[in-house]
A and B are shown apart, each in its own frame.
Chain A
């Protein structure tokens, strides 16, 4: 059953229009031509609306054009710009531009045909920009560069085990079950194991309710799930994925026990997002079999899987990790060990700047608007409200002992986000739309005073540069440090894990669009005022005067 939410309704097909809709199924856009007077017309009629003749025939258009004018649908989940496109045949037609950077549209931009699915109907004609097509082509090439799409090596993975019945463990188990594997879920608490089983069952019920799977599939997947507290149950697993608390000692202890129970040749994976995989591997006698599999929340839905290569991880283990990823429908991106790997490393750099900008004079709504203008589906503060970011930040700071007056204030007032009805924004009951809250504005202003900062008006351009350029800078450092196999892998991580739109490439592709010389110039200026994180990475300096694109780089090992 295909989900049809959010799709436009199927168009009404009037008598005589049938060939038009057959053509859209072939990816073609048809106008009509009158053989009596020679004029083209669109939308198609049976008669010629210029001379009145009946002698009209179908005429395939080139499928290209230029923007004559456009507007923009505000806050649309899929970028949409109602537009009039002028075709090379001289027609100006009402249409819509989709899947492109609609905020950057200009009159006369070149566009090309792209179709929009309708609910149970034929595709509807639309257009997209050439720039977006190029970014998508780059994305496809980047995906192809990751290696074969097929799960060729996957037959060696017949059974899986998951350690830890928490949120991530549950999601990982769901992903494994969906791929047809029997799953052994182990938690040291019987209650937690039973609760995990229940939550997995609930998750399957939700998928059933949304029409994604059938009742038979629900039963069949549950039948393949075993839960318990006995670590020995992992003995026949081909891959074991640990997903417990972020506690190095706990993970090392678990891996030491896995080492005793797991069969030879099994892959031992950890879902850690912040701990050193090498130190976890060192707790075993087979560090070559240990790898990081960093899933993204929710683990059964997000396609990105950061495969973390520890110093001792063997090539065979890496190949196996990639195969497992493909088996469960994930896209594996191999990364080296560093704080935050790839995705979070850029994200944290950006978040620090966002927090700083709040204290200097910006407000959440402005920062979020700028981020959405870049093409991200959500700004950082609305995302934090949705994902419980304030709670996470609070706990992280408790652990580190770092003070953050604003986070403490928000947390103390129960402003933990969407579920609480208020966070950085306030929310009306049952609604998700973030609304500006003067109480938060006042808290932010007070936070500035506490930090001894005088607030000032900050332009959208400065916000853009202070959020995005450090991300580009970190990306360049990752390439320099050989943390990724290709610079384009960084862009794939950001598309698949963080919502960077495929019609805009990714941070590295974007850097090339901005021009590396411009990026370095801006970073230098910001470095003078705002500190070390803006000092341009040497790679950017080296590339700036050349025509080499950073997104094309493959760091040699």
Chain B
């Protein structure tokens, strides 16, 4: 049974400006983004009594970071790790903890530096030596992108989705990224340029794939009384959902994700439908991820995602459903191989009316952020948040 959650608000946000973190430790990045979000909210370290982080938090995670950052009043801790989607789960969990009276001011941080540390596409905290499924794919090169290639290939086979339609996702993100001074790629690209980029994990080209960056972000979730006393426009957590999907011991089904479950729960809690959403932040590890999520969240029917994104339908100002107006993981930032935090941050900016004027949507009373962490073709976790402007 779903009932509306007790009110909780996102009151502070911060995205670290670096995209390559030479000369800054991971711990320092976490502290920097924490202070940045607190400053945005107008709160201090002493106000924080709930702390959320994932496996990118170094050492013994929350314990090490609480000490390093300087959080001495913690009475609620959550280190849910679900890949890139973790931060969507953290916000939902924070809202639930706040509604239950277990904390007042929750800080969520995310930061890592795989480029500077030459760590490649690995996720922090994953011990390959204990993964029980890995020996059975010993002959397969261990890179997540092939799983996404397989999803794209099956989607094309079943629904006629084309490489051009996939490319439109990148094109739209690039139209937005041109306005973001911190984005890794600010050049607007065409469909042909995406198709001309080298094939990386057939049928995905290089430009179908997100950037790899260092950096991170943070946000503050708090009670209504605290939020109303602060200086930022009010952004309420109106609904949330989370779900895990996996290969189910040999019954792999590639065409839909756990977003079907997480999205349904979030919409039911918020009491709205996809038609009410004016902006979406959709996890964009790859262009195909966006298409599958659009279908799973109900913005279009299953199989229609390719046609939905074609011809610039995701571009703010001209398209029906503006998406990832910061440029997304595809063009702006995908720190530590986890894109969930940055998805929430841009959704909050849009909801507040604080996005870049060239991409700010007019219809911002309900926005949605969604993440798919792990491997879309394997075990993954979906997290959906619906935010409401008050």
Contact = CB atoms under 8 A, between A and B. Distances in A.
Interface of A: 8-14, 17, 31, 40-43, 45, 49-50, 68-74, 76, 80, 82-84, 91-96, 98, 107, 116, 118, 121, 124-126
Contacts of B247: 92, 94
13 contacts: A12-B135, A17-B135, A49-B248, A70-B149, A71-B147, A71-B202, A72-B149, A72-B201, A74-B201, A92-B253, A94-B133, A94-B252, A107-B154
Contacts of B136: 11, 42-43, 94, 125
Contacts of B135: 11-14, 17, 43
A152 B150 CA distance: 51
A74 B200 contact: yes
A42 B200 contact: no
B370 to A, nearest CB: 23
Contacts of B132: 14, 43, 45
B129 A41 contact: no
Contacts of A45: 132, 249
B207 to A, nearest CB: 14
Contact of B137 (A13, A49, A94): A94
A126 B154 contact: no
A404 to B, nearest CB: 31
Contacts of B140: 80, 82, 94-96
A538 to B, nearest CB: 41
B145 to A, nearest CB: 8
A116 B139 contact: yes
A68 B153 CA distance: 9
Contacts of A49: 248-249
A43 B139 contact: no
Contacts of A124: 138-139
Contacts of A121: 138
Nearest to B132: A14
The main secondary structure of chain A at its interface with chain B is strand
Contacts of B204: 71
B63 interface: no
A8 B377 contact: no
B208 to A, nearest CB: 12
A41 B250 contact: yes
A116 B23 CA distance: 42
A69 B201 contact: no
A107 B153 contact: yes
A92 B138 contact: no
B146 A82 contact: yes
Contacts of B157: 69, 107
A71 B149 CA distance: 5
A72 B150 CA distance: 9
Contacts of B199: 72, 74
A399 B202 CA distance: 46
B7 interface: no
Nearest to A122: B138
A70 B150 contact: yes
A69 B154 contact: yes
Give the top 10 A-B pairs by smallest Cβ distance, nearest first.
A71-B149, A11-B135, A41-B249, A91-B250, A82-B146, A72-B202, A43-B136, A11-B138, A124-B138, A116-B139
B138 A118 contact: yes
A9 to B, nearest CB: 7
Given A12-B134, A94-B247, A84 B202 contact: no
Contacts of B151: 69
A84 B137 CA distance: 11
B150 A84 contact: yes
B139 A8 contact: yes
B141 interface: yes
A82 B247 CA distance: 15
Given A43-B132, A94-B247, A107-B154, A84 B138 contact: no
A43 B377 contact: no
B254 interface: yes
Interface in B93-134: 129, 132-134
Nearest to A117: B139
Interface string B222-259: 00000000000000000000000001111111100000
Contacts of B254: 68-69, 84
A555 B336 CA distance: 64
B141 A71 contact: no
A92 B153 contact: no
Given A9-B138, A71-B204, A121-B138, 6 more contacts: A31-B250, A43-B250, A71-B203, A74-B201, A92-B253, A107-B153
Contacts of A8: 138-139
B141 A82 contact: yes
Contacts of A13: 135
Contacts of B137: 94-96
A68 B141 CA distance: 19
Nearest to B378: A94
Nearest to B151: A69
Nearest to A10: B138
Contacts of A125: 136, 139
Contacts of B200: 74
B134 A70 contact: no
Contacts of A69: 150-151, 153-154, 157, 254
Contact of A71 (B146, B198, B252, B253): B146
A68 B139 CA distance: 18
A95 B378 CA distance: 12
Nearest to A91: B250
A9 B140 CA distance: 11
Contacts of A73: 141, 146, 201
Contacts of A91: 250-251
Nearest to A89: B250
A172 to B, nearest CB: 37
A98 B140 CA distance: 10
Contacts of B154: 68-69, 107
Contact of B249 (A11, A50, A70, A71): A50
Contacts of A116: 138-139
B20 to A, nearest CB: 21
Contacts of A72: 149, 199, 201-202
Nearest to B199: A74
A71 B139 contact: no
Nearest to B148: A71
